[in-house]
Structure 1
């Protein structure tokens, strides 16, 4: 019977360690205590502002396809496709320079930075119409480098490219493999830069506030940082400090009991 004491002691110590490392259920669940709900408030979808270093695809069409074609020969710009292999790729598009301009065929330098896509489309359309280059032109502007970064306590931290220019915070977390069990769900950090100004916003995923928040939809170049929760920090700290002591003590107890049992 005496030989069982070391194993019982080891089991007890292991159980205590596991008990102290348990994560509170409420802190690990999204949107606690939410029942069937319909949100009538319209979520604000602010159109992103074009910024320097944005890569744009601009297409022009009209009733005269041949005349429109001369506006659709864009230059090739080099940029880093960070969502896949992080390799350098040549992409046909217009790179907004550091002064906020692009060089457009027949129209020359056009200021793009500081405008929404719709505003920029109207600027190009007005210039073409005023110079009588096309009749009733249709302008389409799309981002080629619309991306969002997800960092921290997620399964796959990554930079996500968004071809449809529309992504919710929850979709971004899903594409990054979801939050880990050690993620702080009530204190996500959203970093957003517009017009040279950075804003930092804290987001709580344990409530339903996100569904009516202006941060429900993300914008290009947004960065989401997911902090580790107190459990992970405490476990990491405690493991470093106590594990060597516990193992040494356990070894000493086992050796002592073994000698006394002989």
Structure 2
């Protein structure tokens, strides 16, 4: 009788702890959520990005007479083409924001861009050029962009590693999708976003199974973020992620227990 009770208890334990719940696999699974309020929350979070230390900027200065602005452009890598630049060429021809928040543009010299939006930097460069070097007739056109949004994804994802996306804005779902998405044993309820600040790194948490994730200031990725997906307890237990896998594990364990009991009785 004790043996049957022990086996029943063992089976119950495995069934309760081994399978990954559907709620743990569903993104933004809250019921009764107001879609209009969610859309408003996302729009409120879409604030212009402000440049930080170590960002790599791509700056293009154009004019009706391109020869006039050539001296303000960095010397591009030999492997670069006019149509597109590789990540390597952008590293050499782009402008890295220093620890003091400065970039250095040929002829123009140092400019502080820390905490400025890309639009503000464009206007500042254009203003300086018109004040010191050109007249309004030069028809200047300045474009400033992030030279790729670079971040790291590690933990329970399809592919770990450093990712560079050539977009102005990337949310955490897009970031995870670029790395093969979270695996079935990844913890979607507590994804860590490790963000760089002037005073150092800080760890933030976001629950991707809740629509409240849209309100999170960490829903949108920033350059140099590191995203870490922790494993669920099912992985450490090694009991499987689906019902079939769990039943297979239970049968194996029960067979082992039965064999041990039979052998011990025969001794």
Bin the TM-score by the shorter chain: 0.7 to 0.9
How far the C-alpha of 1:164 sits from its partner, in A, is 1.5
Alignment partner, residue 99 of structure 2: 98
How far the C-alpha of 1:49 sits from its partner, in A, is 2.7
Alignment partner, residue 30 of structure 1: 27
Q: Which aligned segments of 4 or more residues in structure 1 are displaced greater than 4 angstroms?
A: 11-18, 245-251, 254-257
- 2:190 and 2:88 map into 1 onto residues whose CA distance is 36
List runs of 5+ in structure 2 lacking aligned partners: 1-6, 78-86, 240-252
**Structure 2 residue matching 1:211: 3-state secondary structure:** helix
Deviation per CA, 1:46-66, whole angstroms, max 9, x where unpaired? Answer: 333323332221111123222
- 1:180 and 1:205 map into 2 onto residues whose CA distance is 13
Cα separation, partners in 2 of 1:33 and 1:48, compared to 1, 3 Å:
closer
Deviation per CA, 1:192-228, whole angstroms, max 9, x where unpaired? Answer: 2244454432111221112333333222112211111
How far the C-alpha of 1:186 sits from its partner, in A, is 1.2
Does the 8 A contact of 1:74 with 1:93 survive in 2?
no
1:83-232 equivalent positions in 2, closer than 5 A: 89-91=88-90, 92-135=93-136, 136-232=139-235
Alignment partner, residue 252 of structure 1: 260
**Structure 1 residue matching 2:122: 3-state secondary structure:** helix
| Greater helix fraction, Structure 1 or Structure 2 | 2
Cα separation, partners in 2 of 1:134 and 1:15, compared to 1, 3 Å:
farther
**Structure 2 residue matching 1:185: 3-state secondary structure:** strand
Deviation per CA, 1:128-187, whole angstroms, max 9, x where unpaired? Answer: 111133534221112224212211111212221010122111111111111111111211
Alignment partner, residue 247 of structure 2: none
How far the C-alpha of 1:246 sits from its partner, in A, is 7.7
Alignment partner, residue 241 of structure 1: none
Does the 8 A contact of 1:61 with 1:138 survive in 2?
yes
Q: Tell me how large the CA RMSD over aligned residues is.
A: 3.5
List runs of 5+ in structure 1 lacking aligned partners: 1-10, 77-87, 237-244
Cα separation, partners in 2 of 1:89 and 1:37, compared to 1, 3 Å:
closer
How far the C-alpha of 1:73 sits from its partner, in A, is 3.4
Cα separation, partners in 2 of 1:114 and 1:30, compared to 1, 3 Å:
closer
Deviation per CA, 1:107-147, whole angstroms, max 9, x where unpaired? Answer: 12222333222222222112111113353422111222421
Count, aligned residues: 233
Does the 8 A contact of 1:74 with 1:94 survive in 2?
no
- 2:30 and 2:149 map into 1 onto residues whose CA distance is 35
1:27-66 equivalent positions in 2, closer than 5 A: 27-34=24-31, 37-38=35-36, 39-41=38-40, 42-66=43-67
**Structure 1 residue matching 2:72: 3-state secondary structure:** coil
Of stretches 20-29 and 185-194 in structure 1, the one that deviates more from structure 2 is 20-29
- 1:197 and 1:122 map into 2 onto residues whose CA distance is 30
Does the 8 A contact of 2:55 with 2:223 survive in 1?
no
Does the 8 A contact of 1:124 with 1:139 survive in 2?
yes
